[in-house]
Amino acid sequence: MIAYDDFRRVDVRSGTILAAEPLAGARKPAYVLRIDFGPELGQRRSSVQITARYTPADLIGKQVCAVVNFPPKRIAGFDSEVLVLGMDDDDGNVVLVQPGLRVPDGRRLY
């Protein structure tokens, strides 16, 4: 069990994917996403291993949920600035976590 304050320290926000392209040099197939988190946070980039279920064209305009307050992580020479959230399906492929309805970019999960 964790305290509610522990949960509140994790800053999960909504954002819209503006661009998606393969991440060159990655050991496992991955994309680089450019995501708009609204006027407060602006645009951030992330590396995601979601190539089994999504193409770059599928991703443009999708809204996703991401942790925005982790430090950047270096992946294949690239600084991933946010952690895009997902869950695995029955085949072990990542399915993105998304709001059920469109919300303004930058909205916080609570």
* pLDDT for 46 beyond 90: yes
Number of domains in the chain: 1
The count of other CB atoms within 10 Å of the CB of residue 2 is: 7
What pLDDT was estimated at residue 25?
Answer: 87
Distance from C-alpha of 5 to C-alpha of 41, rounded to nearest angstrom = 22
Per-residue pLDDT band at 82 (split at 50, 70, 90): very high
Q: Is residue 4 part of a domain?
A: no
Question: Rounded to an integer, what is the distance from CA 92 to the centroid of its chain?
Answer: 18
Mean pLDDT of the chain: 96
Query: Residues with Cβ < 8 Å from 33, sequence gap 6 or more?
Result: 17, 19, 20, 45, 46, 47, 48, 59, 64, 84
Is residue 19 one of the residues assigned to a domain? yes
What is the residue range of 20's domain? Answer: 11-92
Confidence of residue 69 (pLDDT cuts 50, 70, 90): very high
- For the domain that residue 69 is a member of, what is the CATH number? 2.40.50.140
The amino acid at residue 90 is: D
Q: Would you say residue 101 lies in a domain?
A: no
Q: For tokens 């304050």, what's the residue?
A: 5
Q: What is the pTM of this model?
A: 0.94
Let me know if residue 42 belongs to a domain: yes
**Cα–Cα dist 110/93, whole Å:** 26
